[in-house]
Amino acid sequence: MDKKETKFYTGQGDKGLTALTPASQVSKADERVAAVGSVEEIVSALGVVKTVTDCPIFRGKVERIQKTLRTLSRGLRDPRSGRFVFSAEEVSFLEEDMDKMLGAISPESLTNALPGGNPQSAYLDVAHTAARRAERDVVGMDRRYAVPPLFKQYLNRLSDYLLVAARYSDHLYAKAEADKPAADPSAVSPAAPSMSAVPGAASGNLSDTLVAEVLARLGGSKALDLNQAKRIIAAVEARAAEQGKHAVVAVCNAEGNPVAVHVMDGAFLVSYEVAVKKAYTAVAVKMSTMELSALCQPGGTFYGLQALDKVITFGGGIPLYRDGVIVGGLGVSGGTGEEDHDLALYGAAVFQTL
């Protein structure tokens, strides 16, 4: 007997109808359809942001927002069901991160800056515009359907967050451009520079300058020390305790060697080895183990890597960067891959404040 052919299209859309839930067909002019569509536009715009950012920590934050928006979108499809909810902690996450970024930018830039300062900020501006429209659509939907207050609050904060993130991206881009060394016209060629073209040569500090440059490239001048590792671990343990989790937290240096490992009371025995391997893996492949997991699926770029003894390919490992240089790795083990990944992202964010 032949299997029944399944088609993606149903033909109902030709009549101006769509299915918000499996059991209902509504007009595409329904306020719920507009609200859901606007929220999904933010998710897509943030997907572009993920492709242009070179910071794994920020990429993890964007992914967290995308997941929350997906839950929100499903909740808008059937607002009376109450099945799709998220915690008020997601609003706090936006507020806390926004407050940190606001400390580095001028208030005038929030209203006067034109989009297009750099690719990342430009795409964040697009996401910000989509978030403002989504908030308006959800408020309009609320006049006929009871939208959970947290949904409206989250979209309001997200709109502000994306605007601030765009201007913060402009700030970092401008700072990086300003820090670039100016070209020296006295240099003969890039391959064979004259002594006067090398910073520090005229003052007799050439050796120190070269050593500093090599250390910067290797991460040595920005090394992660024991005190910093212990502070990261303490912060992750406190967050895990708030969530009722019992984790093992490991921090390694840029060579993948452990700097510190803490075992919370009640943690699984196997979590010790797993956390250490997650930290090592994040440094070895220069990406989070959550990202690596997707690339290790059959047909993926790194398929087969999961067979290596020291490599872990599920969430919980995050590389630690300082000024664009990997200085270590953080590994968390104790919950699901997603839970460990969220805790590791939190730890990486703490590291940026040290």
pLDDT for 188: 41
C-beta separation of 198 from 209 below 8 A: yes
pLDDT for 327: 93
pLDDT for 192: 34
Name every residue whose Cβ is closer than 8 Å to that of residue 139 and which is 6 or more positions away in sequence. Answer: 152
pLDDT for 9: 65
pLDDT for 274: 96
Pick from 324, 232, 225, 337: nearest CA to 281: 337
C-beta separation of 42 from 134 below 8 A: yes
Going from N- to C-terminal start, the domains of the chain cover 17-177, 222-353
CATH number given to 222-353? 3.30.450.150
Query: What's the CATH superfamily of 17-177?
Result: Cobalamin adenosyltransferase-like (1.20.1200.10)
pLDDT for 325: 85
pLDDT for 309: 84
Three-class SS of the chain: CCCCCCCCCCCHHHHCEEEEECCEEEECCCHHHHHHHHHHHHHHHHHHHHHHCCCHHHHHHHHHHHHHHHHHHHHHHCCCCCCCCCCCHHHHHHHHHHHHHHCCCCHHHHHHCCCCCCHHHHHHHHHHHHHHHHHHHHHHHHCCCCCCHHHHHHHHHHHHHHHHHHHHHHHHHHHHHHHCCCCCCCCCCCCCCCHHHCCCCCCCCHHHHHHHHHHHHHCHHHCCCHHHHHHHHHHHHHHHHHCCCCCEEEEEECCCCEEEEEECCCCCCHHHHHHHHHHHHHHHHCCCHHHHHHHCCCCCCCCCHHHCCCCCCCCCEEEEEECCEEEEEEEEECCCHHHHHHHHHHHHHHHHHC
Q: What is the pLDDT along the chain (354 residues), one digit of tens a residue?
A: 455 566 666 666 566 667 666 557 677 878 889 999 999 999 999 999 999 988 888 888 999 999 999 999 988 987 666 677 888 899 999 999 999 999 888 888 888 899 999 999 999 999 999 999 999 999 999 988 888 899 999 999 999 999 999 999 999 888 888 776 665 544 444 443 333 333 333 333 444 444 444 444 444 445 789 999 999 999 999 999 999 999 999 999 999 999 999 999 999 999 999 999 999 999 999 999 998 988 888 877 788 888 888 899 999 999 998 877 899 999 999 999 999 999 999 998 889 887
Backbone angles phi, psi at 322, to 5 degrees: -140, 120
180, 186, 190, 192 alpha-carbon torsion, rounded to 10°? -140
The amino acid occupying position 151 is: F
